[in-house]
Chain A
Amino acid sequence: MEAAINALPYLMQGLVTTLYIFGVAIIIGFIIGLVVALMRLTHIKPLQWIAKIYVNIIRGTPLLVQIFFIYFGLNSLSFMSLDREVAGIITIALNAGAYLSENIRAGIQSIDKGQTEASRSLGFSGVQTMRFIILPQALRRMLPTFTNQAIITLKDTSLLSVIGIADLTQRGEVQASATFESFAMWTTVGIIYFIVIYILTLLSNFIERRFKLR
Chain B
Amino acid sequence: MSIVQVKNLKKHYGQMEVLKDISVEIAEKEVVCVIGPSGSGKSTFLRCLNRLEEITSGTILVNGHEMTDNNSDINKFRQEVGMVFQQFNLFPHKTVLQNVILAPIKLKGKSKSEAETLGMTLLEKVGLKEKANSYPSELSGGQQQRVAIARALAMEPKIMLFDEPTSALDPEMVGDVLNVMKELANEGMTMVIVTHEMGFARDVCDRVIFMDGGYIVEEGDPKDVFTNPKHERTRSFLSKVLSS
A, B in one complex: yes
Residues on A facing B (Cβ under 8 Å): 112, 114-115, 117-125, 128, 132-133, 136-137, 140, 213-214
Query: Which B residues are in CB contact (< 8 Å) with A213?
Result: 92-93
Instruction: State whether A118 and B92 are in contact (beta carbons under 8 Å apart), knowing that A132-B102, A214-B137 are contacts in the complex.
Output: no
Does A118 lie within 8 Å of B89, measured CB to CB?
Answer: yes
**26 chain-A/chain-B pairs, Cβ below 8 angstroms:** A114-B87, A117-B52, A117-B83, A117-B89, A118-B83, A118-B90, A118-B148, A119-B91, A121-B52, A121-B81, A121-B82, A121-B83, A121-B152, A122-B102, A123-B75, A123-B79, A123-B103, A124-B75, A124-B106, A125-B75, A132-B102, A132-B106, A137-B93, A140-B93, A213-B93, A214-B137
Does B89 lie within 8 Å of A123, measured CB to CB?
Answer: no
- Residue B136, interface by CB 8 Å: yes
Residues on B facing A (Cβ under 8 Å): 50, 52, 75-76, 78-79, 81-83, 85, 87, 89-93, 102-103, 106-107, 135-138, 148, 151-152, 155
Residue on A nearest B151 in the bound complex, by CB: A122
Does B85 lie within 8 Å of A118, measured CB to CB?
Answer: yes
Does A123 lie within 8 Å of B155, measured CB to CB?
Answer: yes
Does B152 lie within 8 Å of A122, measured CB to CB?
Answer: yes
| Alpha-carbon separation in the docked complex, A115 to B152 (Å) | 14
Query: Which A residues are in CB contact (< 8 Å) with B138?
Result: 214
Query: Which B residues are in CB contact (< 8 Å) with A120?
Result: 52, 75, 78
Nearest 6 Cβ contacts at the A-B interface:
A123-B79, A118-B89, A114-B89, A121-B83, A214-B135, A122-B103
Whole-angstrom distance between the Cβ of A202 and the nearest chain B Cβ: 24
Query: Which A residues are in CB contact (< 8 Å) with B82?
Result: 121
Does B85 lie within 8 Å of A114, measured CB to CB?
Answer: yes
| Alpha-carbon separation in the docked complex, A176 to B102 (Å) | 59
Query: Which B residues are in CB contact (< 8 Å) with A119?
Result: 91
Residue on B nearest A114 in the bound complex, by CB: B89
Query: Which A residues are in CB contact (< 8 Å) with B102?
Result: 122, 132
Residue on A nearest B52 in the bound complex, by CB: A117
- Residue among A123, A132, A214 with the most chain B CB within 10 A? A123
Does A123 lie within 8 Å of B93, measured CB to CB?
Answer: no
